Structure 1
Amino acid sequence: MTSHPDHRAGHDAHEHGGHAHGISVNADRRCLVGALSLLVAYMVGEVVVAVLSGSLALLSDAGHMLSDAGAIAVALWAMRLAARPAVGIWTFGWKRAEILSALGNGVALLVIAALVALEAIRRLTVAEPEVRGGPVLVVALVGIVVNIAAAWLLARADRRSLNVEGAYRHILTDLYGFVGTAVAALVILLTGWTRADAVASLLVVALMLHAGWGLLVASGRVLLEVAPASTSLDDIRRHLLDVDHVLGVHDLHVWTVTSDLPSLSAHLVVADSCFNDGHAPQILDEVQSCLGGHFDVEHSTFQLEPRSHGAHEHAFH
């Protein structure tokens, strides 16, 4: 802590450059690359069978798998950007590239869902389409296996990252979609009702909308610097006020730089005597210890103010 004549003091919670994860970034990359390879290989075969069989459900699944592959590719690119160190004006580096990737994944899911929904509705309102249930069932069953393998790979990565979680949700939604497609193929084989294919597509659309909206909300909270959902500002303020000589807390801000990297800043009003007896550094240590013991805050900055300085504080910062 550095004391200044104007009674302002700042404290950075940690000196290291990044947040420690239980799983290494290289391990995350290997998981993503493995899942991407599986999806691309299978997607090519699925498109061929979808065209030959006339199945919209398979074609919609192929489109979703294309978005899955794109999501993983973008996630890998964002992961590479996020690993760049903070330089010059990029004081946080490129860490929020991962959040932008998650936002893009959410938008992609919503757009694809809208396109598939329009085609499914069209097929439900025109003459009953011709769909060959046998090839659709085989491809769907193989797709379930491929997506289980891809989901398993991504589940091994660090899903605390919204970037990885976005790619994982793509895969999981596709897995559910293949289950629906397999059921539709069975219905076609047993009853001949080919509109089951379009109905299955609408179920996939519902899953896409749910996953896409969830990603938009989660990434939007980070970009708008909303306090993490698990954070209670009242609890933080109460714990800070429990520290000896802390008389007030204002301008308290908590936000997320990127996934699993929360930050906090606040003004602490302390007794005037703390600036005369050299007690200010000890207060900073105590509030930092309080945060570390009760809240998962990676970076924090505090400004200490004597009570007599209150008249000089602006109402808003």
Structure 2
Amino acid sequence: MSADSDPRWLSIALALIVTFMAAEVVVGVIADSLALISDAAHMLTDAASIVLALIAIRLAKRPARGQYTYGFKRAEILSAQANGITLLLLAGWFVYEGVSRLIDPPDVEGPLVLATALVGIAVNIAAAWSISRANRTSLNVEGAFQHILNDLYAFIGTAIAGTVVWLAGYPRADAIAALVVAALMVKAGWSLVRESGRIFLEAAPAHLNPDDIGARVVGIEDVVEVHDLHVWLITSGQPSLSAHILVTDGADCHAVRSTIERALDSEFGLAHTTLQVDHVGDVDRPYAEGHCVDAHGPVHRA
């Protein structure tokens, strides 16, 4: 799939969301339904998340230059974090309003809520399908997708609430639906904030264990020590590694480096690596004392 397909599919989803959101606000006010109004507010964040995703995609395509040596690739991670934070903030507001309406429930127009929710389900299915056609390995696109998916769950809950209000005359069902939506938003929002935070803190990707990588490298012939081993994500799907390697005196540094690079690529999927390779006898201090005065992280020795 072409990278250019992402903006196209995201734009289709944005058009669907904005059109329906405007109609839902009007119906929510008429029906005095918190579930509908909360859905509309959530759809506003859906639209904002897609706009952020589109902007981030454009920024990420800018080439690296000047002081921005990675370009603007992490603009996508900023967008994902913003999406996660808005989900958490909205969830807090829905909990407050939902509890208030459980205590003092207003009259809710059940049939109007049900009809609007059914249309909302169809719109969100179409929007979710559109975004699923984009590259969801990007945390940025995944953030927008999670917004839409949670909105779909919200409309399903609202449809159930509208049915209960209409047939059973139980207005508190509307507030209960809003609280269920809030719980789903907390789950999705926290996941986005956690994953984007890991990238900003330069944590190793969840599927890569730096200790396993260090142990594998020192197991290669002629490698004596590995330190300053760093594994991080530049942005979604772009892992990188850097390390200082010490090899035995007389070993071919270039051959050892090539062997290490092939192992990292084939076994760990690390194609972007920066390795400094030195002979043990060339370092300023004896091997037994270590090379770096303050090594950044664990030292792996053969």
Find 1:176's aligned residue among 153, 159, 162.
153
Which residue in 2 is equivalent to 1:6? none
Per the alignment, residue 265 of structure 2 pairs with 292
Structure 1 residue 136 displacement after superposition? 0.5
Bigger relative CO (Cα 8 Å, ≥ 6 apart):
1
Matched-pair contact (CA < 8 Å) for 2:264–2:271: no
CA deviation string 1:156-196 (max 9, x = no partner)? 11111000000000000000010000000110111101110
Question: Which residue pairs with 1:13 in the alignment?
Answer: none
Q: What residue is the counterpart of 2:86 in the other structure?
A: 108
Which residue of the partner structure matches residue 141 of structure 2?
A: 164
Alignment of 1:227-246 (within 5 A): 227-246=204-223
Counterpart of 1:314 in structure 2 is 293
**CA offset digits 1:67-116 (Å, max 9, x no partner):** 00000000000110011000011000000000000000011111111112
Q: Please show how residues 109-188 of structure 1 align to structure 2 within 5 Å.
A: 109-126=87-104, 128-188=105-165
Superposition misfits of 4+ residues, deviation over 6 angstroms: none
Counterpart secondary structure, 1:258: coil
The residue aligned with 1:9 is: none
TM-score by length of 1: 0.89
1:103–1:215 Cα contact (<8 Å) kept? yes
- How far is 1:271 from its partner? 0.9
> What does residue 97 of structure 1 align with?
75
Distance 1:62 1:191 in 2: 25
8 Å CA contact 1:261–1:298 kept in 2: the answer is: no
C-alpha distance in 2 between matches for 1:49 and 1:316: 62
Query: Quick one: which amino acid aligns to residue 159 of structure 1?
Result: R
Contact persistence 1:43–1:65 (CA under 8 A): yes
Letter in structure 1 aligned against 2:116: V
**In 2, are the aligned partners of 1:81 and 1:95 still within 8 Å (CA)?**
yes
- The yes-or-no answer on 1:85 pairing with 2:63 is yes
Q: Which amino acid aligns with 2:20?
A: Y
Q: Which moved more, 1:307-316 or 1:246-255?
A: 307-316
- d(CA) in 2 for partners of 1:266 and 1:142? 55
Secondary structure class of the residue paired with 2:250: helix
Q: Which of 4, 25, 46 pairs up with 2:3?
A: 25
Pairing of 1:181-196 with structure 2 (within 5 A): 181-196=158-173
CA contact (8 A) 2:84 2:189 kept: yes
Question: What does the per-residue CA deviation read over 1:216-235, in whole Å, with 9 as the maximum and x for residues that have no partner?
Answer: 00000000010000002222
Letter paired with 1:304: V
Candidates 254, 261, 266, aligned match of 1:281:
254
Q: Tell me the equivalent position of 2:300.
A: none
Conserved? CA contact 2:227–2:295, under 8 Å: no
* Identical aligned residues as a percent: 50
Cα distance in 2, alignment partners of residues 289 and 123 from structure 1: 61
Distance 1:298 1:271 in 2: 25
Equivalent residue for 1:17?
none
Q: Unmatched 5+ residue regions in structure 1? A: 1-22
Cα contact 1:96–1:258 (8 A) shared by 2: yes
The gaps in structure 2 that reach 5 residues or longer are: 297-302
1:147, CA displacement in angstroms?
0.6
- Residue from 66, 75, 81 that aligns with 2:44: 66
2:242–2:273 CA contact under 8 A, matched in 1: yes
Q: Secondary structure at the match of 1:301?
A: strand
**Structure-2-length-normalised TM-score:** 0.94
CA contact 1:136–1:181 (8 Å) conserved in 2: yes
One-letter amino acid of the structure 2 residue matched with residue 103 of structure 1: Q
**Aligned-partner Cα distance in 2 for 1:298–1:42:** 44
SS in 1 for 2:71: coil
SS at match of 1:267: strand
The aligned residue for residue 8 of structure 1 is: none
C-alpha separation in 1, matches of 2:194 and 2:294 = 31
What is the number of residues matched between the two proteins?
290
The Cα of 1:247 is off from its aligned counterpart by: 1.6
Q: Distance in 2 between matches of 1:269 and 1:93?
A: 32
Contact 1:36 1:69 in 2 (8 A): yes
The equivalent residue for 1:41 is 19
C-alpha RMSD over aligned residues: 1.1
